[in-house]
Structure formats: C-alpha cells, structure tokens
Amino acid sequence: MLEKRIIIVWMMIVLSIFLTGCQPASDSILEPSKLFYVHDNSHTLLNATSWSVFNYGEALYIDSNNDAIPEFIQGSQVVVLTHVGDSSDIESTEIFNHWGIGKNNMGILIILYFSKDGDSYIFDNILFEIGQQMSEYLSAFEANNLITDYFYDPSIPTYDYDARLISLYHGVLSHIYLNVYNYTSYNHQSYMDGYYEIQYDYIRAIPKATFYDDIFGNYWFWIIVGLTILFGGSILQFIPLFFFSSGKSFRGHGGKSIGYWFKR
C-alpha cells in the first residue's frame, strides 16, 4: 500500500514540474486579466476607467447574446490592453487569438501604447485589432473615424487619456449597438457624464487573478497534496478549495483575427 502511494506522489510531482516547465515565459505571451475586458498591468489607467471598461464590455457581451439577435453575430467583446514600452514587444494578432476575443469572431482589441518619462506615462499611439466577422461591420477607415471623433474629441483635455479612452470605448460600443444590433439610440454623452462623476473616486483595482488561481497554478500545492496522500491523508479535504474557487469566469469565446488591424 505504501509503495502504491509513493508511486502516485512521484507521478504527481513529475507531472506538476513538467507542466510548470511547459508554461510560456511571462514576456512571450500575455494572459488576460481576471475580469478579461481590460488588461492594465502597469496601472496607467485610473481604476474607475478600468471598471467602466469592464462593466460596459460585459454588458455588451450579454446584450449581444440576446435570442432575438442572429446567432452568427452574437457575442461581441471589446477588450482594452495598455502597453508601456516599444510597440514591437507585443503582437496584437497573437494576443487577440490567444485570448479568443468575441464569439463568432465578433471581437475588437484596443491597445494603447505608452512610454514612460520618470513617474509619468506618455501616450504614444493606439491600435485596433478587429475580429474576422466584426470586420464586416467595422472597417479600418471607420475605426480611424471613431478615433478622430471620440479619442481626439477637442472638448477633452489632451492630458486626460482616461477620459479619451472612455469616450472612444463608448464610441465603439455605440457603433456596434447601432450598426450591428440595430439599436435605435445610444446616449454617448450620458455615459460620459456618469464616468466624470466617478473618475477620481477610490475604487479597487481590477484583479489579475484570484487567491485560488495562484494556488492551483503552483506546483508546490500539488506536492503538498501528494505528501498528504503519501502519509495517509485524503484528497477529499482539498475539495472545498475547488468549490470556493469556482466563480463566474470572464473570458474570451474563441474569436479569431486574421491580422486585420489599424494603428494611429
């Protein structure tokens, strides 16, 4: 019986080390944030900005899955990524497809590129990566117009890239609601007014991962499980962790881009 336990533990340790070694390097591929719709690891955005993107991005996804909408255009997702450094450090199409943005290829990835000057972030440029099906409803030409109308809105101070991003985000959502899903109206100004009311409020940051995600991704956790089994313990005592870690998952839904992007 002891020999059998030793074999099981040894197999678990070898497997966990193998899986850890197979994980891509952190700088070779980005993983989405826990809430998926906004990825801002350098904290270039205000928390209110990040949560606004998440709330309205998830609302769009829910609305676009309405049964009254033709199935082939359901599941729109608009995701925002910020990157500090050289734009060549990341590959937008690779990220889009790895994250699977949108269902039915109805996704959009917006990347804001920044450089850093001391403690300040300097906005450089912006990129739209557009999903294969979404490209039938949003062209690079139209994306350029959205940037002009909303991101470079002259009524928004040039230094306030948070407000400029939210203006653009609602501009993109307005385009989708009106041109893809045939909504009759989208009150862009009311959403901006709501954002300005909370822009500088204290709001917790978007989580990168949960406590339990960190546990299950750590091979030491599995070694402890193995040693517990080896010394006569039961794996049943770890079951509550799996239940506590199960929550609503915000993620991509398999959307693909064929490399259709626009940068300005």
Closest residue by Cα to residue 36 from 198, 253, 258: 253
Q: What whole-number distance in Å separates Cα of residue 212 and Cα of residue 217?
A: 8
Q: What whole-number distance in Å separates Cα of residue 67 and Cα of residue 217?
A: 37
Q: 């590959």: which residue's tokens?
A: 91
pLDDT at 1: 56
Domain borders along the chain are 2-25+211-245, 38-206
pLDDT at 246: 42
> Residue 97 gets which letter from DSSP?
H
Angle at 208 between CA 116 and CA 210, to 5 degrees: 160
Residue 233 amino acid letter:
G
pTM recorded for the entire structure:
0.78
pLDDT at 219: 55
pLDDT at 175: 98
Q: What whole-number distance in Å separates Cα of residue 10 and Cα of residue 76?
A: 45
Q: For every one of its 264 residues, what pLDDT tens digit does the chain have, with 9 covering 90 and above? A: 555 555 554 555 555 545 444 444 444 578 998 889 999 999 999 999 999 999 999 999 999 999 999 999 999 999 999 999 998 899 999 999 999 999 999 999 999 999 998 889 999 999 999 999 999 999 999 999 999 999 999 999 999 999 999 999 999 999 999 999 999 999 999 999 999 999 999 888 887 654 445 545 555 555 655 655 665 555 444 444 444 444 456 899 999 999 999 999
pLDDT at 212: 45
pLDDT at 26: 41
CATH class of the 38-206 domain in this structure: alpha beta
Q: What whole-number distance in Å separates Cα of residue 92 and Cα of residue 136?
A: 19
Q: How many residues does the chain have?
A: 264
pLDDT at 225: 53
Closest residue by Cα to residue 78 from 17, 263, 99: 99
